[in-house]
Amino acid sequence: MSTTEVTPHLTEPITFWQSTNGKKVVMAVTGVMMFGFVVGHMLGNLQMFEAPEHINAYGHFLHNLGELLWIERGVLLLAIALHIIATIQLALRSKAARPVGYSRRQAINSSYASRTMYWSGPIVLAFIIFHLLQFTAGYIHPQATFVQGDVYQNVVSGFQVWWVSVWYIFAMCLLGLHLSHGLWSMFQSVGLAHPRLSPYLLNAARAVALVIVLGYISIPISVLLGFIK
């Protein structure tokens, strides 16, 4: 009688990035980084409603940061890319875990913001790249003039092109949808999703996202209406 030796199946350990929890942590950390940038950038942009010297001084300050500013931009773009990749991969895992779809699509427990998370992110990333090439580098400035160092003039000249303003407003609305769901998800992740608190937290997330969207789109709208000129 012979015996057959069975070698146990060895699997490689799952890395932090490969794990589902790891991807969720990456989404949370990169989300906080992007939220901080969005708020700070909005506050800086709102100086357009003051004298041109204010926004130009702000732009001059950023320009003097030199390589540090480009490192910050690189980190931000990397954070956005990781955020999008983690979101897509988690969505694919969720779909793979439920290979048989529902016979009728249900949207009762999901909001429009949550259902647009997967495609709004890449669109916002494309907008950020366009925005940097237009107002920062001056490589793309359609139907407008670009003056190096004159932030106020460049913003007014750029937003006077109606389709540029429309594209900006559209991207900011998508950003608002993304933020409202992202903030709500963050509240849930830190354990604040209590039945009594949930309605207030959801409304708070929506309110913060709305304020940010209004802050951003107020500039192109004011340029188009002639309030900023």
Burial of 113 (0-12, 13-18, 19+ CB in 10 A): buried
pLDDT at 191: 63
Q: For 159-212, write each residue's pLDDT tens digit.
A: 998 998 998 898 889 888 888 877 877 766 656 666 777 778 888 888 999 999
Q: What is the rounded average pLDDT for all residues in the chain? A: 78
The Cα-based distances of 47 to 151, 189, 193, 218 in angstroms read 11, 35, 36, 12
To the nearest whole percent, how much of the chain has pLDDT over 70? Answer: 78
pLDDT at 103: 46
Q: What is the 3-state secondary structure (H, E, C) of 103-152?
A: CCCCCCCCCHHHHCHHHHHHHHHHHHHHHHHHHHCCCCCCCCCCCCCCHH
Query: What is the DSSP secondary structure assignment for residue 53, as one 8-state letter?
Result: H
Q: Please tell me the distance from the alpha carbon of residue 157 to that of residue 145, in angstroms, as a whole number.
A: 7
pLDDT at 107: 44
Per domain, the residue ranges of the chain are: 20-91+113-225
Residue 141 phi, psi dihedral angles, 5° rounding? -145, 70
Q: Please tell me the distance from the alpha carbon of residue 111 to that of residue 95, in angstroms, as a whole number.
A: 18
pLDDT at 224: 94
pLDDT tens digits in sequence order for the chain, 229 residues long: 455 554 445 556 678 887 877 888 888 888 888 888 889 989 999 999 999 999 999 888 888 887 888 888 888 888 888 888 887 887 788 777 765 554 444 444 455 555 555 666 677 777 777 777 777 766 777 777 778 888 898 889 889 989 989 988 988 898 888 888 778 777 666 566 667 777 788 888 889 999 999 999 999 999 999 999 8
Q: For 138-147, write each residue's pLDDT tens digit.
A: 677 777 777 8
pLDDT at 104: 46
Residue 138 phi, psi dihedral angles, 5° rounding? 75, 15
Q: Please tell me the distance from the alpha carbon of residue 87 to that of residue 115, in angstroms, as a whole number.
A: 12
